[in-house]
Structure 1
Amino acid sequence: MKWSVQQLNTLKNKGIKFDEMVDVSDIKKVDQEIRNISLVHVKGEGTFSNHSVTFTLEIKGEMILPCSRTLADVSFPFEIETAEMFKLHDWIGFDDRDDEIHDLINDTVDLLPYIKQAILLEIPIQIFCEDKKGEAPPKGNDWELITEENKKERIDPRLADLAKFFDDK
């Protein structure tokens, strides 16, 4: 999903259509809430105007997110429609106030960062699992759930020597 300006100029008369499965699993490094993400189905087309190309994209996939209440895994399917516009020539003057027109990087159009950005923007603030009995995990990284029945009196190892202080007398 990457085209050079030369490739785009040769495809200008034909137009661009694509239907691909894209691996965006490295998006988990950007947002730690995403536990897993499937291959993403990207379908779209590119249309040319005088000095720009506009890509209309349909992005479909599924990601696993933690339940906001119980931290259990919740499947979140997404379907996104977006349009991204790129100017083909640096010397063409577009209205600078329009942030929706992207510049080329190294004379290429790469849609992958914009696909990832659209997916990240689709993540809900809160998501809840359907199963109301979905239990929270009993422990995690550097924490553990303790109930009154399971609670054990533990002495801080740094203060353990103080307990011997009164035994000597």
Structure 2
Amino acid sequence: MKWSIHQLSKYRQNGMPIDTQVQLDEVMNRNQDIRAISPVHVKGLCTFGASQMTCQFTLSATLTLPCARTWEDVEYPIEIDTVEIFSWIDEEKRGDEDGDIHYIDGDVIDMKPVLEELVLLEVPMQVFKQNTEGQMQGGKNWSYSTDEDVEIARKNDEPKLDPRLAALAKYFDQTDE
């Protein structure tokens, strides 16, 4: 999704509608938790001023992420509504507090890095596959147990005496004669 500023001048009157699919495979390199991403559907409208383009659009896609319990694939749909402003004014006129504006160097507007950032911001810390509660089995040198399992095991286990200290226990049982 690259456009020349001169190419966009023909849309100055009515704006430029956007309805396209974009493949953003680079997000998988930037966030290793993303195992796959469907083509991102971008739909919206861009309007133009003297030295800026304002785009109001909706992104929708499906991310494949690992389940935090079972490490299986989970499909996580995202839908992002956003307004992005691209400006091509001179560097002298730029303000320091204009953090929401994407300044363009040169004559080409590339929307792909902005779309990638928007998708990366939507990745959750953890996702859980449905109906996986308590399905952890364990692995080599580790096991999974719930708080209830630990409490039941504590009640069932009798305090065991260390065999090395068995003779010492007999010593205290003797009465002084």
TM range (shorter): 0.7 to 0.9
Which residue does the alignment assign to 1:142?
none
Counterpart AA for 1:130: Q
Counterpart AA for 2:52: S
- d(CA) in 2 for partners of 1:106, 1:18: 22
Q: How does 1:75-90 map to 2 (within 5 A)?
A: 75-90=75-90
CA contact (8 A) 1:72 1:135 kept: no
Which residue does the alignment assign to 1:146?
140
What is the CA deviation profile of residues 63-85 of structure 1, one whole-angstrom value per residue up to 9, with x for unaligned ones? Answer: 11001122111110000011110
What is the CA deviation profile of residues 68-117 of structure 1, one whole-angstrom value per residue up to 9, with x for unaligned ones? Answer: 12211111000001111011332672432111111113321111111111
Q: Secondary structure of 2:93's partner?
A: coil
Which runs of 5 or more structure 1 residues have no equivalent in the other structure? 139-144, 149-169
- d(CA) in 1 for partners of 2:135, 2:111: 39
CA contact (8 A) 2:15 2:45 kept: yes
Which residue does the alignment assign to 2:4?
4
Which residue does the alignment assign to 1:113?
113
Q: Secondary structure of 1:53's partner?
A: strand
91-100 or 43-52: bigger deviation: 91-100
- TM-score, normalised on structure 1? 0.75
User: Using a 3 Å threshold, how does the CA distance of structure 1 residues 3 and 72 change in structure 2: closer, same or farther?
Assistant: same
User: Using a 3 Å threshold, how does the CA distance of structure 1 residues 96 and 24 change in structure 2: closer, same or farther?
Assistant: same
Counterpart AA for 2:96: D
Alignment of 1:22 with 2:22, yes or no, is yes
- d(CA) in 2 for partners of 1:132, 1:91: 54
Report how many aligned residue pairs link the two structures: 142
Which runs of 5 or more structure 2 residues have no equivalent in the other structure? 143-177
- d(CA) in 2 for partners of 1:25, 1:91: 32
Which residue does the alignment assign to 1:132?
132
Q: Secondary structure of 1:131's partner?
A: coil
Please state how far the C-alpha of 1:39 moved relative to its aligned partner.
0.8
What is the CA deviation profile of residues 32-78 of structure 1, one whole-angstrom value per residue up to 9, with x for unaligned ones? Answer: 10011111111111112332111112000101100112211111000
Which residue does the alignment assign to 2:153?
none
- d(CA) in 2 for partners of 1:91, 1:98: 12
Which residue does the alignment assign to 2:39?
39
- d(CA) in 2 for partners of 1:121, 1:137: 33
Which residue does the alignment assign to 2:148?
none
